[in-house]
A and B are shown apart, each in its own frame.
Chain A
């Protein structure tokens, strides 16, 4: 099986390369499945524009396989069932070769059965909770071990935090992340009573009591830190209340996993200087590629626009896909998927991202402190961390492993050495 693969892909490549010059009166279609209206439009519209910029740049550089790339943009309108409907439309009506899209986990879960049924290819650019592996999805955002765990390590090691408040919006990403973190913290010797967990609804605005609860945690003399998985607009009220309560990052540091440059632009950050965020990318990263990328983005969208982590994920994902297609000589999903494994592309933060057999990237983890101008000062950057689909810190998933390249299975139980299922967990 393993031996025959390169050979067969070579053959297909040869056949299609001969045909491609001919086939190229039809452009290669790239589906963009991001909400342009509804509640998620705030975050996802940016990603649609990112894709359009990337496709423009690639076309200017000669397209791919000598073909022009054409973007097919649809609007699933933040309506989860509509994501499935639009994905089906992209794959069957528009016949796209690849889809870049989704933001929320629930929208991804909605799309998964369709993508798997029709053997499509999806690049998902946002940090997520893991516990999933689909043959047809490449996860270019961070898995929990590429964001949450390093940030927690930073709290434990560098800030000496002994007592944790895990604050999150009540949905799957914070729930799963906090479960993983609780388990991780306990394995690091933090007692159960030193972990305070709270969930709030989307768009929550009444933070006074919760902030007071967090302050009260300090009463037993331990250094308190907050790990925030609070999502979206609710952050505004939360940070305003923090500032009003006079909590400085020196007293109670807050590290957020869902607050990036884009979210900070709705806030006056002068009172938040020193609080933290963990991502795989910050706009302030110092590299030539990043300078060029930020400049191109600002030239297209306006001087006051910022770049953020999911944009970099699309940047890496799209370029890897282009390289994989070039290597495979075809846009056929199975051939491209095979060519994707081991693809390398330079990160915007320096270093190189590698696509792993579990469909995740190896990327560095950055921790930044909020500055007064709404940017992040990068104070810690790790080596590349390989993304892990199944976390090692929950007993049920510690035994699971995803390896599509050699095992051909996304949910492989290493204890019983069996493949639990070939479809993904939705």
Chain B
């Protein structure tokens, strides 16, 4: 209201006089405070004045303002444009000299104000020769969805040279028409045009048309466009329904417990209240009795009993009515939205499946090295997580020296393999080799290594998380529609997981090394007598498993974070993946990772507000699963299955 008055006043001031007589600087000076410290709700006056002034400098000024290039000189309060440390005059655009930040105060419009400026610029930019400005204008319309923009938008469609932008404009015009079209027919038409588009903004338009307001009345009024009737106790709680009644002055407010207590406390006379001794008032019943007595004496408002409330609820109708009065429009929007919602549900399921697949591939990647060292060799390597960490830090170090992200990743992947392969081989030679007959002690020794490595990483790289940045071409997401999208980095991880699966299967099943590995695992003595050197094979196998963990580390660091504790986050999960899937089998690990990934996403979907609970229940499920299928999903059979 106040804003309207202001607007009217501003129009009165600006309209009568010849607009060219006023300079931009003068106009800004009348609103100096608002220009310097604009607020979303108050900036409208300035924008309206600027737009209605018709000054040619207004548009470049608005653009500069939005980009935070407007400064005020502290000495005389005049405004200038400052860019690249140079000061420009607003009227003429000429260079005034270097900008000295000490003597200037910058105007910093916030996000809300920038959006308002964007809206004001729309009409000038819709047909601007610069396509980025036209795009910005279209974005601004899409964000604000204001009725006044329908006409200028429509006018600009015809002459739009860019086909993609033209399509966007047409679509946007359709959305605006659905909401603000002049006749109901035009709107229904436009709504029909939106059917089948499941993007968020189209749903936003339809939902806005279908916005409802809850209300309550004694009988249902005839003149509302009814969305649905509400049944207290089913569609809304009885307490909530009664609160609505109270809010509409249709029922007396209930007396809450603390009000009863306060009323009783303030009516104590000689140790008695309402005929009862104060010390007996330590039960709700006695308090009620005393309060009733007070109410009968007229000292306090009467109680509202549960029966009163139920009766009040029964004698009223609760309903939701569409804000849009025309039933034809709401019906059309409802039909369009219902059709979209079904598709959205399918898309959401697909998106969830994609997320699950991605999570599964991350688990698989983290666990596959373990599937070799633990699954094939039977070595419990608690330091596996630290190999993942070493890989990630290798990536970080490479990026320190190679600033090109694509090149650095290409170097980091083999280097991470080499580093962790070496570490794995060293560990096998120095520690694990001596403990092949004592598996539980391997667990403890490798745990010792794990805490030592973790602390070592802290000492070298600090506790702060380190950046590992993915190359530009992995930024962003593959968008199928507004619901189904997956980031490229996750796709890359998925592809990497597939490659590893292939490579490992190939190595184990098709190469001489794989044959020897399998021979040594099944019967080291016999393998040795066939001329295989078990020491060498164990060393290589362990190195291979560790090396893969290193590469996994680079991938995981790219999508999440690089810290000294990142390995610890994955180690228990990885062991469970291998155990659930079935030890000694790469396919088992794949099955285990898929099971865990899909299960976790499933539980998250059931309880979206608590991810921690999802993890807890997933582990519980795994514990139970192992009880009933101790050998995992893909259990080995026959001799190989012997412990």
Instruction: List the interface of chain A (C-beta within 8 A of B).
Output: 37, 39, 41-42, 45, 154, 157-160, 170, 196-201, 203-206, 208-210, 212-213, 215-216, 218-222, 233, 236-237, 240-241, 243-246, 249-251, 253, 262, 265-268, 271, 274, 276, 367, 369, 377-380, 415
15 more A-B residue pairs beyond the given contacts A42-B465, A266-B466, with a C-beta to C-beta distance below 8 A: A158-B111, A197-B609, A200-B611, A205-B560, A206-B359, A210-B611, A213-B608, A220-B204, A233-B563, A249-B111, A250-B143, A266-B467, A276-B111, A379-B109, A380-B110
Residue B463 CB within 8 A of the other chain = yes
- Which of B114, B352, B464, B488 touches A244 (beta carbons < 8 Å)? B488
Contact B355 A233 (CB under 8 A): no
Q: Is B509 in contact with chain A by the CB < 8 A criterion? A: no
Q: Is residue B162 contacting chain A, with contact meaning CB distance below 8 A?
A: no
Q: Give the segment of B221-229, B431-439, B479-487, B540-548 that binds chain A.
A: B479-487
B41 located at the interface, meaning its Cβ lies under 8 Å from any Cβ of chain A in the complex: yes
The reply to whether A198 and B610 form a contact with Cβ atoms under 8 Å apart is yes
CA distance A200 to B348 in the complex (A): 21
**Is there an interface contact between A205 and B561, defined as CB atoms closer than 8 Å?**
yes
Complexed CA–CA distance, A6 and B530 (Å) = 96
Q: How distant is A284 from chain B, measured CB to nearest CB, in Å?
A: 11
What separation, in Å, do the CA atoms of A170 and B464 have in the docked complex?
21
Pairwise interchain contact B112-A221, C-beta atoms closer than 8 A: no
Overall SS of chain A's interface: mixed
CB-defined A-B contacts under 8 Å, sample of 28: A39-B565, A42-B462, A45-B463, A157-B40, A157-B41, A157-B112, A158-B111, A159-B110, A170-B610, A198-B611, A200-B612, A201-B611, A201-B612, A205-B559, A205-B561, A206-B359, A206-B362, A209-B601, A209-B605, A212-B483, A221-B205, A236-B465, A237-B561, A250-B143, A265-B464, A377-B108, A379-B108, A379-B110
Task: Check B612 against A266 for contact (C-beta < 8 Å).
Answer: no
Q: Is the CB of B475 within 8 A of A160?
A: no
User: Which residues from chain A contact B358 at a C-beta distance below 8 Å?
Assistant: 208
Which of chain B's residues have a CB closer than 8 A to the CB of A241? 487
A62 and B560 alpha carbons, distance in the complex (Å): 48
Residue-wise, chain B 163-201 has the 8 Å CB interface mask toward A (1 for contact) of 000000000000000000000000000000000000011
Considering the complex, give the chain A residue whose CB is closest to the CB of B116.
Answer: A160
Bound complex: CA A199 to CA B561 (Å): 19
Contact of B560 among A212, A237, A274, A369 (CB under 8 A): A237
Is B98 part of the binding interface, using a Cβ–Cβ cutoff of 8 Å? no
Cβ of B246 < 8 Å from any Cβ of A?
no
CA distance A201 to B469 in the complex (A): 24
CA A278 to CA B359, docked complex, whole Å: 32
Known: A212-B355, A218-B200, A271-B475. A199 touches B559 (CB 8 A): no
Residues of B within 8 A of A377 (CB): 108
Chain B residues, CB < 8 A from A208: 355, 358, 486-487, 490
Interface of B, helix, strand, loop or mixed by DSSP: helix
- List B contacts of A203 (CB < 8 A): 565, 569
B114 cross-chain contacts in A, Cβ below 8 A: 250
CB-CB under 8 A from B605, the residues of chain A are: 209
Separation in Å of the A303 CB from the closest CB of chain B?
16
Q: Any chain A CB within 8 A of the CB of B39?
A: yes
Q: Tell me how far the C-beta of B517 lies from the nearest C-beta in chain A, rounded to whole angstroms.
A: 32
Task: Report B447-504 residues with CB < 8 Å from chain A CB.
Answer: 458, 462-467, 469, 475-477, 482-483, 485-490
Chain A, residue nearest B38 (CB): A158
A384 to chain B, nearest CB (A): 18
The reply to whether A237 and B559 form a contact with Cβ atoms under 8 Å apart is: yes
A221 partner, pick from B204, B465, B476, beta carbons under 8 A: B204
Considering only CB atoms, which chain A residue lies closest to B203 in the complex?
Answer: A219
B351 contacts A158, CB within 8 Å?
A: no
Cβ of B615 within 8 Å of any chain A Cβ, yes or no, is: yes
- Cα separation A198 to B612 with both chains bound (whole Å): 10
| A199 interface neighbour in B211, B258, B352, B610, Cβ under 8 Å | B610
A220 near B612 with CB under 8 A, answer no
Closest to B484 in A: A212
Min Cβ gap B348→A in Å is 8
- Do B604 and A209 touch (CB < 8 A)? yes
Bound CA span A198–B607, Å: 10
Q: Are B200 and A216 in contact (CB under 8 A)?
A: yes
Top 5 nearest A-B pairs (CB, nearest first) are A221-B204, A244-B487, A205-B560, A266-B465, A220-B207
The 0/1 profile, CB within 8 Å of A marked 1, for residues 84-125 of chain B is 000000000000000000000000111111110000000000
Chain B CB within 10 Å, residue with most, of A197, A237, A244, A262? A244
B363's nearest neighbour on chain A, judged by CB, is A206
